Structures are given as C-alpha cells and as structure tokens.
C-alpha cells in the first residue's frame, strides 16, 4: 500500500500571526488517519509552526533548501539547518523555483542528494508547460525532468522520495488537469520508474498531483489508481478547504 499524502505548499504567504491563526484552525479539523497531512510554511515561520504542531499529526515541511551544508551562500538555508529544527521533508524542484530562480535539473540533483544525506525526505516536483502539452511533448519533458534529477540514485533512496506531478499550466490558474490527464501522466511516471528500477519499486513510490486542486475536484482526481494524493497551493491557505481535500480519498 502506497502512502497517501496531502501537502499544503503555502508558498510566500502568511506572516507569523497569519501562520499561527491558520495552524489554530487546522488543529480544529478532522485529520484522516490514513493520510499523511503536511504543511509547508515559509522559512521564517517554520520553527513556530513546528512547535505549534509538535503533538499533532500534521507534519511541518520546508519549501526549499540549498545543496551545501553551510558556507558563503547569502540568503540560503541548508538541509543541516532544517534537520536541526526537526524538519523531515522538503519540497524540491517546484516549477516556480525552476522558472523564477533558474533551478536546473543538475542543480536539483545536487539538492536531492543533500536532502537525502541529511535524512530529509524529498517531495520532488516536475511538470510540463502548456506549449509542451500542445506539442505533445509532455511525456518527454516530464520523463527527462525525472531522469536528470533522480536517476543517479540507488533504488534504496526511493524510500525517501515522493513525486509530485504539477503541470505548470494548471498551477494557480484555476485550470486543473482532468482526472484522465492526471492518471495518464502518473501511469507514465510509474512506467518510467519501473523501466529503470523495476515494477516493485515503481509501485511503492507515492505520486501526488498538484495544480488548482480544490475540494470540488480532489475526489475525482484522487480516485485514479496512480494518484496518491495532492500538493496543494491556494486551497491550502483555507483550513476548511485543505481538510476537505485531505478527506477526499
């Protein structure tokens, strides 16, 4: 049985007071027992969030990290630093990091290695742009993003990898991939993993969908056999919506 996951990527939203308010609301919601629920606040609020949720089943995770453990990288945060807070999961490869901060597959491969070295599980994001889908290159693009950043890893490492398919054209646009489009891509991703590492490993890795996922469409998307949960942006900023999604399996 693969782990079901619903993770809220708060992106650059919520100051300290807003973080505390949202966490108070999240604590009031019913947390499904068979789903790992996570939130990713910004770095400045991680410690506060982590402590507020210490005795709760909601896991606090990070949105990014640097590949080095320490050094002259002004403005960056390392895996060692996250680990010292007790953070056990990090999102890497988000399309916003790729687009606005020039994160390449090569850089992401280094970040993945650094996270795993620090015993931090990786939610690895990837996804095609609209032009790729229109030219029917979406599978090539996604296949290459996965191969370039992850296929240097030993099979063992995939115990600590979660994949998140986030088509760029669906992020923050209100336009969601149809459940069939999500299933087709997730099945392709699993086949890509199986070709390299074997079927058993491919069947064990959780693959999340992200991109305008909301209470009204989560149920249908999560009902697809290769969709193991969601990485949620906008809808994660409202406790009720986030938990409606977490309860959509």
Q: Which stretch binds ligand 13P (CB under 6 A): 19-27, 105-113, 186-194, 211-219?
A: 211-219
Q: DSSP string of 94-153?
A: -HHHHHHS---HHHHHHHHHHHHHTT-EEEEEE---HHHHHTT-HHHHHHHHHHHHHTTS
Residue selected from 41, 79, 93, 211 as contacting ligand 13P according to rule CB under 6 A = 211
**Binding of ligand 13P at residue 233 (CB under 6 A)?**
yes
Q: Rounded CA gap, 41 and 240, in Å? A: 17
**Nearer of residues 79 and 210 to ligand 13P, judged by Cβ:** 210
166 catalytically annotated: yes
User: Which of 81, 107, 91 lies closest to 39, judged by CA?
Assistant: 91
**Binding of ligand 13P at residue 181 (CB under 6 A)?**
no
Of the residues 36, 59, 66, 94, which is catalytic? 94
Q: Rounded CA gap, 238 and 235, in Å? A: 6
User: Which of 248, 238, 188 lies closest to 28, judged by CA?
Assistant: 238
**Binding of ligand 13P at residue 127 (CB under 6 A)?**
no
Q: Which stretch binds ligand 13P (CB under 6 A): 21-29, 136-144, 194-202, 208-216?
A: 208-216
Residue selected from 171, 193, 207, 221 as contacting ligand 13P according to rule CB under 6 A = 171
Residues binding ligand 13P: number (CB under 6 A): 14
Q: Which stretch binds ligand 13P (CB under 6 A): 20-28, 75-83, 111-119, 227-235?
A: 227-235
Q: What's phi and psi for 125, nearest 5 deg?
A: -100, 150
DSSP code of 203? H
Q: Rounded CA gap, 197 and 241, in Å? A: 37
List of residues contacting ligand 13P (CB under 6 A) = 9, 94, 166, 171-172, 210-213, 231-235
């Amino acid at each position: 049985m693969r782990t079901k996951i619903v993770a809220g990527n708060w992106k650059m939203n919520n100051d300290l007071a807003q973080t505390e308010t949202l966490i108070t609301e999240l604590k009031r919601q019913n947390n499904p027992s068979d789903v790992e629920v996570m939130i990713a606040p910004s770095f400045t609020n991680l410690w506060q969030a982590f402590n507020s949720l210490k005795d709760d089943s909601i896991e606090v995770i990070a949105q990014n990290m640097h590949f080095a453990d320490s050094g002259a990288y002004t403005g960056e945060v390392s895996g060692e630093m996250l680990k010292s807070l007790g953070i056990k999961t990090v999102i890497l490869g988000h399309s916003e990091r790729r687009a606005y901060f020039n994160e390449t597959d090569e850089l992401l491969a280094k970040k993945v290695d650094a996270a795993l070295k620090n015993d931090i599980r990786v939610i690895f994001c990837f996804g095609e742009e609209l032009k790729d889908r229109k030219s029917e290159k979406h599978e090539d693009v996604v296949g290459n993003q996965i191969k370039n950043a992850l296929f240097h890893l030993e099979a063992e490492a995939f115990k600590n990898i979660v994949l998140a398919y986030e088509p760029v054209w669906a992020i923050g646009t209100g336009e969601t991939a149809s459940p069939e489009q999500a299933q087709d891509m997730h099945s392709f991703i699993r086949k890509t993993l199986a070709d390299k590492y074997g079927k058993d490993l491919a069947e064990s890795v959780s693959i999340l969908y992200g991109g305008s996922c909301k209470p009204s469409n989560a149920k249908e998307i999560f009902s697809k056999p290769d969709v193991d949960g969601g990485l949620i942006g906008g809808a994660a900023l409202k406790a009720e919506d986030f938990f409606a999604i977490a309860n959509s399996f």
